[in-house]
Structure 1
Amino acid sequence: MKNNLWIVLLLVVLIPSNVHGEYMEPVDTYMERAIVLEVEEGEVIEEVEGILTQVQYVKLEIISGKYKGKIFETENHLSDNIAYDIVVKKGDKVVVGIEEYDDDLVEVYVSDYARQNYIFYLLGLFVLLIIVIGREKGIKAVITLAITIFMIMKVLLPLMLKGINPIPISVLVSIGVTIITIFLIGGINSKSISAIVGTSSGVIISGLIAYFVGSQVRLTGLSAEEATMLMYIPQGVDFDFRGLLFSGIILGALGAIMDVGMSIASSIEEIHNANENLTKRELFNSGMNVGKDIMGTMTNTLILAYTGSSIPLLLLFMAYETSMIKIINLDIIATEIVRSLSGSIGLVLTIPLTALISTVLIKRDKVEKMSK
């Protein structure tokens, strides 16, 4: 008995503490890129209820950050689920998590595939085509895109993360983006002012409709999994999830509504320049005719964009022959319907608003020129 006791004590002393590293809290964690050097496939094991598991023994080299050039060996556990498995092979570039523990212990695990290179290639192609085709206007378009991203990442999202009501700041950011974009692309003139007022009005109307209808049908704003996860973030912010939903609706509709507003204002200006003798009514009707053609395609754009993101869900409903009454009344489906229809209504109302404002301003400018 004494011998056994001494053996146990000796093992406790001799076993290094880092064996228990997986139960310890890491001192620091990094996400870096790595390249797979070697992969050895482990044996496939069948666990409970037919679930297959496998381990890949991976040797990889870190190619970024603090441990650049270092080589590590790690185990990549697979669970026979393509949604979560990161199956690697030699030569793959991956994102790895690096965890530092006390006593200089470092653990590395495969987190995801490194996709950023091709994303940057695609972005580069997009920017190049805009500049080549648009020339000076294309360069301005790239600048406005950068400003929009900056406004969202550095203004809108940080303010939301502080718990500020998302609806007013979304409206203000949307109007700010609209003003900067249209003035930079079209210059400071009657056409741009008309497009800004028409676009801003359409976005605000879209948001108000979404807010009213969403409140009446009791949308929670928690239909997306990401929204639910926000309840557990370390900042402990008490989010207004319904407000976040309406904020998303406003931003989602902004692009299409801005496109329509600028198209109508530009069309009316070109028609007026071609025939300055047209009356206000004739000029307004010409703008409305152009708007009617745009309306059919742009409303489809919004509806198809929102439907496209819900295809897997719609297929599930079809596969299980879910009743239409249940489908329409589900929070997640009602959210998408309100989102797409309110955005489309705002888009449609932007056409007469922009046409009216543009007609009034252009005719006013003509009168001022003639009086000089």
Structure 2
Amino acid sequence: MNSSSSASSSQTKLWNFGKRLLIALAVFVALAAVVQLNDVTKPNLVNTDGRTFMKAVVTDIVRDNVQENGSRIGDQIVALKLADGSEVTANCPNGMLFGTVCEPGMSVVVIASQTGSLSSYTVYSYDRMTAVAAFLAFFCLLLMAVGGRKGVKSVIALAATFACFLFFFFPLLMHGLSPVFAAVITATLILAMTVWLICGPTKKALAAGLASFGGVLSAGIAAEVFGRMAHLSGYNVPNIEALMFVSQNTKIDVGGLLFAGILFASLGAVLDIAMDVSAAVTEIHEENPEKTERALFKSGMRVGQDVMGTMAATLILAVFGGSLGTWVLDYVYNLPLLQLLNSNSLDIVIMQGLSGGIGVIMTVPLAAAFSALLLKHAFGTNCHASVVKPPE
């Protein structure tokens, strides 16, 4: 018995060492690949020679632009104290997108322009760094306080998702990879990291990941089919002129960005409903392990049907809210229905909302089916055990 126990212990230690070694090797290879992938040269699309952004504090209003009736016309002239301690006079535009209404003590961001020996300063906007950082910190702390350990993992997953876009998806575009293909790869990576961080290498996570991938692909296929039927492409978007300028100076295929965006837009809602269904089926299986595969599938479908309608509505409302300005303009101008239904901007919004909804709908049967199959047939019967087990 002692000899057998010692051999088993040695096998387990060897297995754990081999697993750690493989993980370390995989991480090293992945980091090396990411470093190589980010070795890109961005074109100089805008001449920024002699122009820098810096922080400053308003010390005085040299000339105000307020009128007798309270309106503001023209620009303010303000005195500023820059971050390096120097004091300068700057122009503050009276615009909706740039500039702000300066007051003494206000923190602002300034554009410093240098032409030869001549320097000029223009107030770009209110300094929002503190507000943005505080709001982000409050969100993370709230998520961790309510979610506990899983809240901490969710924060890590969000940070990893952002890193995937910044260090993986965008460089892939710069290397000339199709935006849709790059989106599929990135979405797969995000799904794998998110479900692994939150649930670990369990059957529940595997079922949710597979179902989410299928749902995202369904949304992409639906968007592609509708785009072909309606003769919509990534070249019908409002900012196409700026995108075409980028396309002419890089390897980015701007025509595929629209459909890549639809994949990412549906990813969160699809993953949410997939996790809901998979978690519910797992709990049902734990409470009653004798339930058949068919019964588990039906239970998952019933749970998914309850969540599906609200989740699809959530996704469509998010798309609607993102384009609310367009809807208000169309409503106020009282445009005829024939014009509305044939406008590129409105049809793209419809495509985004309904394609995402189709992805959510298709995720429900996929999550129920994968959960039932994995729990009843794959990798034994313990639904919370790791997908890959060490040798006994």
- Length-normalised TM-score, structure 2: 0.80
User: What SS does the corresponding residue of 1:188 show, helix, strand or coil?
Assistant: coil
Report whether the alignment pairs 1:210 with 2:223.
Answer: yes
Which of 136, 152, 158 is equivalent to 1:123?
A: 136
Instruction: Give distance in 1, aligned partners of 2:276 and 2:48.
Output: 55
Structure 1: gaps of 5 or more residues = 1-24, 46-50
Q: CA deviation at 1:308?
A: 0.7
One-letter identity of the residue aligned with 2:93? H
Instruction: Report the CA distance shift for 1:43/1:363 in structure 2 as closer, same or farther (over 3 A).
Output: closer
8 Å CA contact retained: 2:65, 2:75: yes
The one-letter code of the counterpart of 1:58 is V
Aligned residue in 2 for 1:40: 62
Q: Aligned match of 2:77 in 57, 68, 85?
A: 57
Whether the 8 Å CA contact 1:27–1:102 is kept in 2: the answer is no
Distance 1:160 1:136 in 2: 35
5+ residue gaps in structure 2? 1-46, 383-391
The separation in 2 between residues aligned to 1:219 and 1:204, in whole angstroms, is: 19
The alpha-carbon deviation at position 232 of structure 1 amounts to 2.6
For 2:342 and 2:119, the matched residues in 1 are separated by 51
Residue 41 of structure 2 corresponds to residue 28 of structure 1:
no
Q: How far apart, CA to CA, are the structure 1 residues paired with 2:337 and 2:251?
A: 35
Report 1 or 2 for greater relative contact order, CA contacts < 8 Å, sequence distance ≥ 6.
2
Give runs of aligned pairs for residues 154-303 of structure 1, distance below 5 A: 154-233=167-246, 236-237=249-250, 239-303=252-316
What corresponds to 2:113 in structure 1?
A: 99
Give the conservation status (yes or no) of the 8 Å contact 1:34–1:96: yes
Residue 100 of structure 2 corresponds to which residue in structure 1?
A: 86
Aligned mate of 1:140, from 153, 175, 178:
153
Contact 2:247 2:254 in 1 (8 A): no
* Whole-Å separation in 2 of the counterparts to 1:240 and 1:70: 45
3-state SS of paired residue (1:197):
helix
CA–CA distance in structure 1, aligned partners of residues 247 and 224 of structure 2: 29
Deviations 1:218-275 (A, max 9, x none): 2232454444312234971254333100000000000110111111111100011011
Alpha-carbon deviations, 1:155-204, whole Å to 9, x = none?
11122234321010100000110011101110112111111110001101
When residues 165 and 129 of structure 1 are mapped into structure 2, their CA distance, relative to the original with a 3 A threshold, is: same
Q: Which residue of the partner structure matches residue 5 of structure 2?
A: none
Contact 1:96 1:110 in 2 (8 A): yes
**Could you report, residue by residue, the CA deviation over 1:60-97 in whole angstroms, capped at 9, with x for unpaired residues?**
1122xxxx22211022233xx53455222212211111
Q: The residue matched to 1:54 in structure 2 has which SS?
A: coil
Letter in 2 for 1:173: T
The higher radius of gyration belongs to 1
Q: Which letter does structure 2 place at the counterpart of 1:98?
A: A
Deviation for aligned residue 1:277: 1.5
Change in CA separation of 1:101 and 1:265 when aligned onto 2, cut-off 3 Å: same
Shift of 1:59: 0.5
Q: 1:325 matched to which residue of 2?
A: 338
CA distance in 2 between partners of 1:316 and 1:36 (Å): 37
Q: Are the structure 2 counterparts of residues 368 and 305 from structure 1 closer, same or farther at C-alpha, using a change threshold of 3 Å? A: closer
* 1:342 has 2:355 as partner: yes
Please, which of 82, 85, 89 is the counterpart of residue 69 of structure 1?
Answer: 85
Tell me if structure 1 keeps the 8 A contact 2:98–2:125: no
8 A Cα contact 2:211 2:274, kept in partner: yes
C-alpha contact (below 8 Å) 1:194/1:361 kept by paired residues: yes
| Higher mean displacement: 308-317 or 172-181 | 308-317
Superposition map of 1:346-365 within 5 A: 346-365=359-378
With normalisation by structure 1, the TM-score equals 0.84
* Partner-residue secondary structure (3-state), 1:33: strand
